[in-house]
Amino acid sequence: MLERIDKEIKEAMKNKDPVKLETLRMLKSTIKYFQIQEKLEKVSDEDVLNIIQKEIKKRKETMDEALRAERNDIANPEIDKIAILEKFLPEAISEKDLLILVDEAILSTGAAGQKDMGKVMKILISQLKGRVDSTLISKVVKEKLNK
């Protein structure tokens, strides 16, 4: 994953794409900071995915705040940065497949109600890491368990 980010940085420099270059350099810096904080020899792809997801979440929050304040000059670059970062995430799962996986998780845990939501979420989050936002998973599980 880190090699792919380096390759994309070089490509952005060659193409003189300042938004992509800035976004990827920020990502690389965040990964390096994480590596130093955690005292790791090497950062795993799973750690990189988690960092990318956190950065996307930050950008979405910034974009939402900017749109609420009617500041498109701030929101538009954030939209571009989100698109750049999302290219590094695994392919998203369809809603139909998500519903099937939720049903399977509920059956396998024997979940009967809201109190069993944690068991179901634990299974689904480990299966769907990086492919679906955990808030969406939570929403679908709540709906299924409340039926």
Report which DSSP code applies to 39. Answer: T
Q: What is the pTM for the complete model shown?
A: 0.75
Q: How far apart, in whole angstroms, are the C-alpha atoms of residue 92 and residue 142? A: 21
Per-residue pLDDT of the chain (147 residues; tens, 9 = 90+): 889 999 999 999 999 999 999 999 999 999 999 999 999 999 998 899 889 989 999 999 999 999 999 999 999 999 999 999 999 988 878 888 888 888 888 888 888 878 888 888 888 888 887 778 778 888 888 888 887
Domains observed in the chain = 2-86 (1.10.1510.10), 95-145 (1.10.10.410)
Write down the pLDDT at residue 77: 93
The separation between CA 103 and the C-alpha centre of its own chain, rounded to angstroms, equals 23
Write down the pLDDT at residue 51: 93
Q: How far apart, in whole angstroms, are the C-alpha atoms of residue 112 and residue 126? A: 21
The sign one gets for the Cα dihedral 52, 122, 145, 102 is: positive
